[in-house]
Amino acid sequence: FSMVVAMRFVGRLGRYWLYSDRLLPAEYPSEDFFEAKQDDISGPAGSFTFDYGPVAGGLIESVRIRLNTYGEYIRRATLEPKKIRTVKVTGNVQDALLGIERVNGNFAASHAVAFLIALEKASSTVAPPAVQLSRVLQIELERIRNHVFVIHRIAETAGFSVPAAELLYIMEKVNRVIGRVFGHRYFYGVNGFKRATTGGGINLTEFEQITEEFQEVFRGLLESRIFIDRLQGNGVVTDSRSIGPTARAAGFEYDARLDGDYSTVYAQLGYRLLRHSSPDAFGRLLIRGEEVAQSLALIRSAVEKREEFCDDAKPDDASVEGIGLGRIESPSGDLAYSVNLHDGRLIELSLLPPSVPNIRLFLESVVSSGFTDVPFNWESFGIWMSEVGVKFV
């Protein structure tokens, strides 16, 4: 079935509401759903409130998830980030990039590319084809790594220690490929204004072996009824404001690779959207597992097409001036930056990380579920708190 919306809502980006095809002034305050005070979640008589986090065995980042329940099911949830950081970015754009690619090291390529696209739009320039292909390579490698990691987290939550360890081993193999090809396993220092490390030397045979190893582990998980029972019907989301794997699991044709920056590049690489009609943690698992193989196909196409271009990834010191918006499909969904530059210096910067809308979706999906279902549901969204509590100065 199809759930297409021509102009889809993405989220709050600074002073604007971001849609897939436009920016609109934000006339109302942003949704401070993750800034709830301790007394904001009181319930009716007979209910009680308790905290999951900010430090717990099932959480890899500091976050307080506050749950109100009767003891049978969760009736309301709020979230409060505990990882709040101030990142200095005003001034030289190359210096700002050092901070931006470290907002979330796991999505360093996604953050850097979205920011650089915004810079290039602000200066009415376009990165050379070879640079665009290099950036696509980075994002798809990052997608493979992150999808493998999210599935590892779900397996670990289920107590499946052997497949969880195998998935970490596969992720390490991906990291080593990235480090060898791009010079840094988290893409630090790889990108710049209208330039990027070319990404030459990817061994596709090696990568095909890695994805085959992943598929073997993934199939093993799907054959476990005990594992699947923890995911099916858990964290159901059918919200039209969904993004990323959450949206595609629910049947929405939402993907910035179709309607965002570089959509033309992805079309040339033969990208086709995958989706399911399973709007729960199981559907999100399926989407991530299938997109690993799809990303490999895109990488193969990009490597082949890369040979058509000369090595035009040269530094460009052109000044930047104006306002620009960059939006790409990160592993967890739409990621966007807006920039305002004057005389080559950054004077305003806004970020919409995918984790912010995914937090809203998680809090929506957790209502009426049992507490033991929460960790599985949480991991299925691929949320990174490191990119949520960031303030640019």
Q: pLDDT tens digits for 356-392?
A: 999 999 999 999 888 889 999 999 999 999 999 898 9
Q: Is the pLDDT of residue 199 over 70?
A: no
Q: In the chain, which ranges are E strands?
A: 9-13, 16-19, 23-25, 48-52, 63-69, 74-81, 85-87, 91-92, 191-192, 195-196, 322-330, 333-342, 345-352, 390-392
Handedness of CA 377, 380, 383, 384 (dihedral sign): positive
Q: What is the mean pLDDT of residues 218-239?
A: 96
Quote the tokens at residue 6.
């021509």
Structure tokens at 126: 């376009």
Which three-class secondary structure state does DSSP give residue 368? coil
Q: Is the pLDDT of residue 216 over 60?
A: yes
Q: What confidence tier does 184 reach under pLDDT thresholds 50, 70, 90? A: very high
d(CA 281, CA 234): 6
pLDDT at 204: 86
Per-residue model confidence as pLDDT tens digits over 297-309 = 999 999 888 766 5
Range of 92-101, 247-256, 368-377 with top mean pLDDT: 247-256
For residue 262, count other CB atoms closer than 10 A to its CB: 25
Order of strands, sheet of 74-81, starting from the edge strand that comes earlier in the sequence: 48-52, 63-69, 74-81
**What tokens appear for 120 in the block?**
């290039």
Read off the pLDDT band of 250 (50, 70, 90): very high
Inter-residue contact 366 to 148 (CB < 8 Å): no
Answer yes or no: are the C-beta atoms of 13 and 335 closer than 8 Å.
Answer: no
Average pLDDT over residues 299-327: 72
Are 312 and 319 contacting, i.e. CB atoms less than 8 angstroms apart?
Answer: no
Cα separation, 176 vs 182, whole angstroms:
10
Q: What is the rounded average pLDDT for all residues in the chain?
A: 88
pLDDT at residue 312 in the model: 46
Residue 70, pLDDT above cutoff 50: yes
Q: pLDDT > 70: what percent of the chain?
A: 89
The CB-side HSE value for 277 (13 A sphere, CA atoms) comes to 3
Are 8 and 20 in contact by the 8 Å Cβ rule? The answer is yes
Neighbours of 45 (CB within 10 A): 4
Question: Would you say residue 176 has pLDDT above 90?
Answer: yes
State the Cα–Cα distance between residues 89 and 289, nearest whole angstrom: 36
